[in-house]
């Protein structure tokens, strides 16, 4: 795969991630699907291969558990070994959990997986991205970030508040937008651009086990059937941001429907973006020293 442009997609075995992988393969990319389940990744790879045609580049699996920093580091090392160049890194995986749980490193799971795991992965791969420039980091966020009242830096793990899955998810999506904004600022003039995006309300397996804005599971499923778009349509903005000339000429922006969009006021707070970066580094450093 070294002669082709290469993309890594977290959570690329189902839903938006899988359809993003399929679209990138169609555009000539070699794709690595980074996910926990080898079995589900292999099923996705076989399905993509059936539609890709004989001239398509290969799709491969890399084991990654974003809830385990040791796994993140191992996956990053494998990516560096198998990807002489890295053109696109798509932080696509995400979840919502209820009741409250913790990652292997003791972080609240929604924040730990949706933000900290990706933060650590991007950090470990930044040098390879810069060496491959022009390159891109695409962070799949959500308009759910607009429901966040702002990050509480005194309780990012939600240990003191009564835990609810939806507010925790909204905060994690705000963290995604702030992270991409700050990453874009820090990598300005390196040839690596970073963006976040809203894929739309997608009918996928997402939130199969979490509470979503207080909706009951039957009501959530009905809403998906009536109003949600397909995973194929949900992937369009990810593919646009990952490959379009337009998205390669700017950095640190938020996108929706393949167009530059305006995030919430909280997502435009550069002070919060910088503080989140420094806090994330400190949390990961502390977790490493506790092992």
State whether the Cα torsion 37-50-244-262 is positive or negative: negative
Show Cβ contacts of residue 253 under 8 Å, excluding neighbours closer than 6 positions: 184, 195, 196, 247, 260
Between CA 253 and CA 260, with CA 259 as vertex, the angle to 5 degrees is 25
Q: Characterize the bridge pairing of strands 6-10 and 88-91.
A: parallel
Sheet architecture: strand order including 88-91: 59-63, 30-35, 6-10, 88-91, 135-140, 192-198, 254-256, 259-261
User: Is 163 noted as a catalytic residue in this protein?
Assistant: no
Question: How crowded is residue 251: how many other Cβ atoms within 10 Å of its Cβ?
Answer: 21
CA distance 164 to 183: 29
CA distance 207 to 32: 24
* Set 29, 163, 169, 254: catalytic member: 169
Which residues are tagged catalytic?
169
């Amino acid at each position: 795969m070294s002669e082709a442009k290469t993309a890594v997609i977290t959570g690329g075995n189902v839903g938006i991630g899988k359809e993003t992988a399929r679209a990138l393969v169609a555009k000539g990319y070699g794709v690595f699907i980074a996910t926990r389940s080898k079995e589900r990744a292999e099923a996705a790879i076989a399905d993509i291969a059936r539609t890709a045609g004989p001239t398509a580049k290969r799709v491969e699996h890399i084991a990654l558990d974003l809830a385990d920093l040791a796994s993140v580091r191992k996956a990053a090392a494998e990516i560096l070994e198998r990807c002489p160049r890295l053109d696109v890194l798509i932080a696509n995986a995400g979840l919502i959990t209820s009741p409250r749980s913790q990652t292997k490193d003791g972080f609240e799971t929604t924040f730990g997986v949706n933000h900290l795991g990706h933060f650590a992965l991007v950090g470990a791969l930044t040098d390879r991205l810069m060496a491959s420039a022009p390159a891109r980091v695409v962070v799949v966020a959500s308009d759910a970030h607009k429901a966040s009242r702002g990050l509480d830096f005194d309780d990012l793990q939600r240990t003191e508040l009564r835990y609810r899955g939806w507010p925790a998810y909204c905060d994690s999506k705000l963290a995604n937008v702030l992270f991409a904004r700050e990453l874009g600022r820090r990598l300005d003039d390196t040839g690596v651009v970073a963006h976040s995006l809203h894929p739309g309300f997608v009918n996928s397996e997402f939130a199969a086990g979490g509470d979503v804005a207080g909706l009951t599971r039957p009501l959530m499923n009905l809403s998906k059937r009536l109003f949600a778009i397909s995973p194929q349509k949900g992937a369009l903005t990810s593919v646009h941001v990952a490959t379009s000339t337009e998205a390669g000429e700017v950095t640190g922006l938020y996108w929706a429907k393949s167009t530059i969009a305006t995030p919430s006021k909280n997502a435009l707070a550069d002070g919060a973006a910088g503080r989140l970066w420094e806090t994330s580094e400190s949390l990961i450093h502390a977790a490493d020293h506790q092992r």
